[in-house]
Amino acid sequence: MKKTIKIGLVFVLMVYYLYHNFFTNSILAGTYVNENYKCKSALVEIPHELDTLIILDNNKFTNSIWGNGVYKLSYSISGTKIQFIYDYEFGKAGFKTSINRSLFGHPKISLDEDLNYYYKKIK
């Protein structure tokens, strides 16, 4: 009986971990809006004004700050990372960050974890 409960608990924790940390293109596709954009982050690559990010299924994205570009997903034990690659005046630029979500919440793309600055999926 105790062994069954332990196995069940481990299974539930594994499912929660996977749900919270691992994402596919189809899960990420949608429209995101940045939260806490008025914070004073020192990162120059991130938007410092209200911004909308649209992620498409075909590894492409668009937004008003970075323009049109592509994204790449990578996976590790710590979860899913996303790298945005876009053109700017000196060639190509990129921004790599993590993705997570709260229990039963929408995905959040972190822009500055220390300041709780992120893109939140709205649809």
Q: Do residues 96 and 81 make contact, with C-beta atoms less than 8 angstroms apart?
A: yes
CA atoms of 47 and 66, how far apart (whole Å): 9
Q: Do residues 66 and 80 make contact, with C-beta atoms less than 8 angstroms apart?
A: no
Q: What is the pLDDT of residue 7?
A: 86
Q: Which residue has the tokens 């990010």?
A: 53
Q: What is the pLDDT of residue 107?
A: 86
Question: What's the total number of domains in the chain?
Answer: 1
Domain assignment of residue 36, given as a range = 2-121
Q: What is the pLDDT of residue 78?
A: 80
Q: What is the CATH number of the domain that holds 15?
A: 2.40.128
What is the token pair recorded at 26?
């189809």
The structure's pTM equals 0.79
Q: Which residue has the tokens 């596919």?
A: 24
Which residues does 105 contact at the CB level (< 8 Å), separation at least 6?
Answer: none
Q: What are the pLDDT digits (tens) for 36-92?
A: 777 776 676 777 778 899 999 899 999 888 889 999 999 888 888 999 999 888 888
DSSP line for 88-117: ETTEEEEEEEEEE--TT---EEEEEGGGTE
At position 3, the amino acid (one-letter code) is: K
Q: What is the pLDDT of residue 17?
A: 80
Q: What is the pLDDT of residue 64?
A: 86
